[in-house]
Amino acid sequence: MSRSESIARKQARMIKALQTIGAQIYDQIENREFPWIILQSRSTDNIVYDPETRQFVLGSRTIRRHARNIRHIRPFAQLVWTAWFAKELLRLRKTSTLREVYYSARGQRDIEFKDQDESNNIIVDLETALNTPREEFHIFSEERSAIFGDLTIEYTVPGYEGKRLNLTSHPDGVMIGPAVTSAELIETSADKVLVIEKGAMFTRLVEEKAYEKFNAILIHTAGQAPRSTRSLIHRLNKEMGLPIYIFTDGDPWGVHIAMVIISGSANAAHLRGLTTPDAKWIGVWATDILKYKLPTENLTDLDLKRLKELLKDPRYKGELWQKELKTFLSIRKKAEQEAFSRYGLTYIVDEYLPQKLETT
Amino acid sequence: MSRSESIARKQARMIKALQTIGAQIYDQIENREFPWIILQSRSTDNIVYDPETRQFVLGSRTIRRHARNIRHIRPFAQLVWTAWFAKELLRLRKTSTLREVYYSARGQRDIEFKDQDESNNIIVDLETALNTPREEFHIFSEERSAIFGDLTIEYTVPGYEGKRLNLTSHPDGVMIGPAVTSAELIETSADKVLVIEKGAMFTRLVEEKAYEKFNAILIHTAGQAPRSTRSLIHRLNKEMGLPIYIFTDGDPWGVHIAMVIISGSANAAHLRGLTTPDAKWIGVWATDILKYKLPTENLTDLDLKRLKELLKDPRYKGELWQKELKTFLSIRKKAEQEAFSRYGLTYIVDEYLPQKLETT
């Protein structure tokens, strides 16, 4: 079976799942019932940390969204409209963004979302109903990150089916959008993936040929990794067997960028395929700030508050995390990835990363 | 003469200019003078709008940064160090970012910048002293935008010299970083450039094959266009003779994204080659909001304040600008690019853009 057949099948499966929701509603109406849809509850008390999968998951409680209930009728209608919209996207092989979905509803009487939050929330409902991330029914966020390295992908988007690109083609990096997200991963000579928070460091590592030196694919998250990037990291780990190393700023926000790639977020407790529990955070650690005598800034009150929250978070139970969070709290300092430039632009590639990749 | 020779010559010319600064300082010291450097003044009263070049320029006033003056000795030393750092970047054919420059100085006794602002400011001094944008001495910002379309470029960065890429290779777009910025523009079949503020709209236009339909190269600015992107737009207009059309959100910030591409900013009054005075802003106009009955949001107090500032700005003297700014103020509404989704995802490509490109 060719790869594009498998994509076509995936697409057909998604359309089928959406049609099933529609067919149920038709049946309910024919049986003279007020139609309803069952979803797992996403309320805080139904989100639990699952040590086995090492991510947040939803508990067993469900809710029934019911057209009989006057409070439910609006979100019920919105959910049905969104399911229809997703089916159209799949059928026409188009993608859309969260913002476009919101505006697309603006023409629809009685469906119209009052704001973007309401519309985003209904899209999450649809993800929950289908147990599938919205990217699979072609709804993306506006965020974009980038990738560079010896990885050959094969596109499945219209007009590019079967075309291949090796991701060393463009040294500034190629964007991770719908085309990369839906591509097949064909071949790589790399033996690891290095995920980098900041664009400056990504460019530095391309320029210093870190991809050759460390035999790595480089991914630039541009801050918190968008979900499509987390899904790509997951696939590089699962499908290609590549270990993942994450390199962020040395502050609570950098730590959490790594954690969300590793263990996901409570917001995505209804989804699978976005986490990479075996990925490793290699720095900048709080203990690196001391060990490498990095230039620092003081932690702000907001940073300190965030660190205390993370200390209590079940995802941070491990020894490394506890030690580093506590070190941040005791030294009350933070350092950026670029801080290594103090020792020259190549120090990061010549000294720091080799040490970290070896010992982590 | 081959293209890469011309790049090598440009590089050599930059190094020469930097060495000239150094040689002057040596001479001054040998003549037992306290060394100094002359710069055009960048104080507000020396920035004037030049109707001829249709951009802000510096007036004739100069300042002498002097090692004899105790207030000047620190910025003088920082400027000399930064010039040395730039020369090293050129010599080693490396690039760097504003942030890395700041940190690189952290190891240098008595040079150290107290914050990023101080360091950025010295880099602007060096641009002024050399009359050259920092990108030419290889210092970039962290921002990244993206490009897609039938344009073949030839790289000049190390490891890629002479390699070519056609920018339709990757449908999510390729990043505009040091490699694109320094590339030669070889060939295009496009007859215009469409510059787009938002990633969602960029993806929409790629997906709807707007590049074929309008025979256009697409550029995604991701908000305010980074300087390297403005320089690329300038080159596409000058070197390839392509007209430029800019499509932004319909609000004062969108208007100003267009204006900075067209006429530049006061901050860059010391530079040339970043503006494109003949570029056209095609929307979303305030009058489009009325004409197309777009979904809107109310202007905030901040939006209104900004509109009043723009009304008085010399760059906004033209009839179109005055009319649109006043319309925003009278309707007190704004609309995003994605607002056209109200009429379906393809309306923008089937109706709005063809009308605008024809009439603007």
Q: Which of B26, B49, B102, B103 is catalytic?
A: B103
Cβ A105 vs Cβ A119: under 8 Å? yes
Chain A residue at shortest CA distance from B107: A342
Tell me if chain A has a CB within 8 Å of the CB of B305. Answer: no
- The three-state secondary structure class of B290 is helix
Q: How many CB atoms lie within 10 A of CB B309?
A: 13
Extract the tokens encoding A276.
Answer: 């990479």
**ipTM reported for the complex, 2 dp:** 0.87
d(CA A67, CA A73) in angstroms, rounded, equals: 5
Asked if A342's CB is within 8 angstroms of B100's CB, the reply is: no
Look-up of token digits 């290699």: A282
Q: Which are the catalytic amino acids of A?
A: 103
Cβ–Cβ below 8 Å for A178 and B203: yes
Q: Report the alpha-carbon distance of residue B2 to residue B9 in Å, rounded.
A: 11
CA distance B147 to chain A (A): 10
The amino acid sitting at A208 is: E
Mutate to test the interface with B, among A342, A343, A348, A352 (most CBs of B within 10 A): A342
Please report residues of B whose CB lies closer than 8 A to that of A339: 103, 106
Strand, coil or helix: A52:
coil
Tell me how far the alpha carbon of residue A311 is from its chain's centroid.
23
pLDDT band at B234 (very low <50, low <70, confident <90, very high): very high
What is the mean pLDDT of the segment spanning B273-281?
Answer: 95
| Pairing assessment for the beta strands B145-148 and B62-66 based on DSSP bridges | unpaired
What does the pLDDT look like over B19-50, one tens digit per residue? 999 999 999 999 999 999 999 999 989 999 99
List B residues 225-264 in contact with A (Cβ-Cβ < 8 A). none
Residue B308 has pLDDT above 80, yes or no: yes
Closest CA to B53 of B315, B312, B239: B315
Calculated CA dihedral for residues B63, B65, B70, B76, nearest 10 degrees: 150
Asked if residues B229 and B140 have their Cβ atoms less than 8 Å apart, the reply is: no
Provide the chain A residues 43-82 that lie in CB contact (below 8 A) with chain B: none
Q: CA-nearest residue of chain B to A337?
A: B100
Instruction: Provide the CA A18 distance to its chain's centre, in angstroms.
Output: 23
A175 vs B173: CB contact, 8 Å cut-off? yes
Q: Least CB-CB distance to B209: which of A100, A159, A173?
A: A159
Question: What is the pLDDT, as a whole number, of residue B5?
Answer: 59
- How far off is chain A from B314, nearest CA to CA, in Å? 34
Show residues of chain B in contact with A341, CB under 8 Å.
Answer: 96, 100-101, 103-104, 106
Furthest C-alpha separation in chain B: 74
Positions in chain A whose pLDDT score sits under 70: 1-5, 109-110
Mean pLDDT in residue range B87-95: 92
d(CA A111, CA A122): 11
Q: Could you give the percent of chain B with pLDDT greater than 70?
A: 98
Domain B145-359 annotated CATH 3.90.1150.10: no
- Residue B9 CB neighbours (<10 A): 11
- Tell me how far apart the alpha carbons of residues A247 and A354 are, in angstroms, rounded to a whole number: 13
Tokens for A54, please give them.
């090492």
- Chain B CB within 8 Å of residue A198 CB: yes
Spatial strand order in the sheet of B164-166:
B164-166, B151-154, B184-188
Residues 147-166 of A with CB under 8 A from B: 155, 157-160, 165
Mean pLDDT, rounded, of chain B: 92
Most confident of A176-180, B98-102, B320-324: B320-324
Cα–Cα separations (whole angstroms), residue A203 to A103, A338, B26, B90, B293: 36, 11, 35, 16, 44
**Distance in angstroms (rounded) separating the CA atoms of residues B176 and B234:** 14
Q: Is B198 near chain A, with CB under 8 Å?
A: yes
**CATH code for the domain defined by A3-140:** 1.10.10.10
What global pTM score does this model have? 0.90
Note whether B170 contacts A179, CB cutoff 8 Å. Answer: yes
Contacts of B160 in chain A (CB under 8 A): 171
**What is the rounded CA–CA span in Å between residue B152 and residue A353?**
35
Phi first, then psi: what are they for B152, rounded to 5°?
-100, 125
Q: Which residue has the tokens 């300092």?
A: A333
**What's residue A174's pLDDT?**
95
How far, in Å, CA of A227 to CA of B326, rounded? Answer: 41
Condensed to tens digits (0 to 9), the pLDDT of residues B49-89 reads 998 888 999 999 999 998 888 888 999 999 999 999 999 99
Q: What is the spatial distance between Cα A3 and Cα A5, in angstroms, rounded to a whole number? A: 5
The answer to whether the A3-140 and A145-359 domains have the same CATH topology is: no
Q: Which residues of A touch B176 (CB under 8 A)?
A: 172
Residue B1 has pLDDT above 60, yes or no: no
A100:B295 CB<8 A? no
Taking an 8 Å cut-off on Cβ atoms, the answer to whether B107 and A174 are in contact is: no
B316 is catalytic: no
Strand pairing of A96-97 and A151-154? unpaired
A176 contact B CB<8A: yes
Structure tokens at A189: 């000579």
Asked if A96 and B160 come within 8 Å (Cβ–Cβ), the reply is: no
pLDDT over 90 at B8, yes or no: no
Partners of residue A174 in chain B, C-beta under 8 Å? 170, 172-175
Which pLDDT belongs to residue A5?
60
Q: What is the mean pLDDT of residues B206-225?
A: 94
Q: In chain A, what is the greatest distance between 2 CA atoms, to the nearest angstrom?
A: 74
Contacts of B344 in chain A (CB under 8 A): 104, 107
Domain boundaries, chain B: 3-140, 145-359
CB within 8 Å: A174 and B178: no
The region of weakest confidence among A108-117, B301-310, B325-334 is A108-117
Digit-coded pLDDT (tens) for A59-79:
999 999 988 888 889 999 999
Distance from the A339 Cα atom to the nearest Cα atom in chain B, whole angstroms: 6
Q: Do A79 and A65 touch, CB atoms closer than 8 A?
A: yes
B195 touches chain A (CB under 8 A): no
